[in-house]
Amino acid sequence: MQYFQSELIGAPHSIVNSGYHDREYFKDLWKTIGRGKVWQGNILNEAKDGSKYWVATTIVPIIEHGKVKEYFSVRIEKTEQKKLEQEKNLHERRFTQLFNHISEGVIAMKKIEGKFIITDFNDGAEKLDKKSKKEVLGKEVSDVYPGTEIGGFTDYIEEAFQKGYASFPILRYKDEKLDSWRKGEFYKLPNNEVVCVYHDITEEIIQLEQLKKYNEKLEEIAFKASHEVCAPVASILGLMQLIDFNDLSPNNKAALQHMKSSVEKLDHTVRDIVKVSYDTEEGKELFAKLSDLKEHFHKA
């Protein structure tokens, strides 16, 4: 407060009024104690140097002969506590805004009697899962997402509950409203809730499926090039090695030389096709993606 006792005695409360509270706040205060009732609340005051401080205030009217004679006030400074409360409220507001506005689905769950019960469900989850927050809150996870036990979904929740974190691979979820692929992570909060943050990867899976079909076509082309073209070409080149070109007429010799050149060119072309299918950077990238896809399908 920083004032001397002599500066405060006889002075009105406005000497420490910070201007934070509106007139209605103090009007209610005076109305309450004026009726002879106790008033309790928090007041932000201003010290002599202009700094602000909070006090938890209790004002007790002293009544004599049925009338309020004077007031007895007890004030306990709680500036630090109020600051912590404000910071906590700020963090909670920020978390709520983040929780409701991120595009990923977020589901909060609490373990009750061995079962994981949904305690919160953000807007992203409503859009991804086509379920309303109202219809899922308070329900067990396996009831809201039937069939996910097969993919080990509840096992990952339990792992996060025990260890603090868990990541689940690609999982497929299907019900009467949707058929989609998901990937995400689980985190355990200080209050023992488990939060699942996940996103939809259905489009990516569709693209990989298309790459898979494209790869099958490439493999088919490579197989045909290797077995249906390379083998006959090799046979023709082998037979030409047996021909004595010295015994041929000039015209026949020229024709066979041209044929040999054409077959050798065809052989190189076929080998290039096979090489493009398997040895280029594009081919390697394609086959790497397909290998990942097969691995994910196997895990799912």
- Residue among 131, 109, 135, 105 at smallest CA distance from 120: 109
Task: Measure the CA–CA gap between 194 and 164, rounded to whole angstroms.
Answer: 8
- What's the confidence (pLDDT) of residue 118? 93
Residues 196 and 109 in one domain: yes
Question: Looking at the domain assignment, is residue 93 inside a domain?
Answer: no
Question: Looking at the domain assignment, is residue 238 inside a domain?
Answer: yes
CATH of residue 117: 3.30.450.20
- What's the confidence (pLDDT) of residue 165? 92
Residues 218 and 284 in one domain: yes
Task: Give residue for tokens 């309303």.
Answer: 132
Question: Looking at the domain assignment, is residue 91 inside a domain?
Answer: no
Domain around 255: 204-299
pTM higher than 0.95: no
CB 171 within 8 A of CB 158: no
Question: Looking at the domain assignment, is residue 89 inside a domain?
Answer: no
What is the total count of domains within the chain? 3
pLDDT digit of tens for each residue in the chain (300 aa)? 566 666 666 666 667 788 888 889 889 998 998 888 999 988 888 888 888 888 888 988 888 888 888 888 888 888 777 777 777 666 656 656 666 667 788 899 999 999 999 999 988 889 888 899 899 999 999 888 887 766 678 888 999 999 999 988 777 878 888 888 888 899 998 889 999 888 888 888 888 888 778 777 777 766 666 666 666 777 777 777 777 777 778 888 788 788 778 777 777 776 666 666 555 565 556 555 555 544 544 444
Task: Give residue for tokens 């979820």.
Answer: 173
Residues 196 and 221 in one domain: no
User: Residue 28 is inside which H or E element, if any?
Assistant: helix 23-34
Task: Measure the CA–CA gap between 257 and 251, rounded to whole angstroms.
Answer: 10
Given 22, 51, 84, the domain boundary residue is: 84
